[in-house]
Amino acid sequence: MKAFLARAVMLIIGIILLIQLWIFSSLVWWRTQPVETTMFMRWDYLTDFKPIQQDWRNYDDISDNFKHAILAAEDAKFIHHHGFDWAGIQFALERNNEKGEVVAGGSTISQQLAKNLFLYNQRSFIRKGQEAVATWMMERMWSKRRILEVYMNSVEFGQNIYGVEAAAQFYYGKSSKSLTREQAAFLAALLPNPKYYQDHRNDHKLQFRKRVILRYMNSTQIPQ
């Protein structure tokens, strides 16, 4: 029995180490290569087998309006933290505890990207732990500019719509390079629930979030 347990423990440790090696090698490759698929995209495809809409754009080919908008919406301290916004996490925990349900999230763009690239959406301590490890690796291997570039190209904007270029084409029929402030704020406002807002574009929560983003987007600092 002891020998069986020892082998089981060694097997689990081996699997964990293999996962970390896969994440590390992927981050090394993606330091310079476009990210054309993520774990989230794969899960999305397997739900309906419809093609994923995604078109990679380099950092300088995406409107600065959108960069400011996405930081105002998701992570205003992005340029200053090292992957984790501890004050934001504490605030989210207090809000959720007060409401008795999850009403706020404290995840940074780096954490969200780690989850999108390698993990899945269900909440669990195991997933959050692995997300933290992947975030820690990413922040030490990639520049802030690269993290934001990959995030903008891989985040979800609707059913099978990933990346700001595909979103700009779907919602506005134009390139992400030419997004206006209003358009950029709208796309950034979609992110908490893009599949729902895709069909409810006049939702009052969405419109309120858009107005808040417009108010604060010029005060954000983007990587150069």
Among residues 215, 220, 40, 212, which one has the least CA distance to residue 148?
220
Total domains in the fold of the chain: 1
Assessment of whether the complete model's pTM goes beyond 0.75 = yes
Q: Which helix (H) or strand (E) holds 171?
A: helix 164-172
Q: pLDDT tens-digit profile of 151-191?
A: 999 999 999 999 999 999 999 999 999 999 999 999 999 99
Please state, in angstroms and rounded to a whole number, the distance separating the CA atoms of residues 217 and 103.
23
Instruction: Show the CA angle centred on residue 147, arms to residues 60 and 176, nearest 5°.
Output: 35
The answer to the question of residue 168 being in a domain is yes
> CA dist 140 to 39, 81, 205, Å?
21, 12, 36
- Residue 50: which domain range? 2-219
Q: pLDDT tens-digit profile of 123-157?
A: 778 788 899 999 999 999 999 999 999 999 999 99
The answer to the question of residue 224 being in a domain is no
Q: pLDDT tens-digit profile of 107-128?
A: 899 999 999 999 877 777 878 8
CATH number at residue 30: 1.10.3810.10
The answer to the question of residue 97 being in a domain is yes
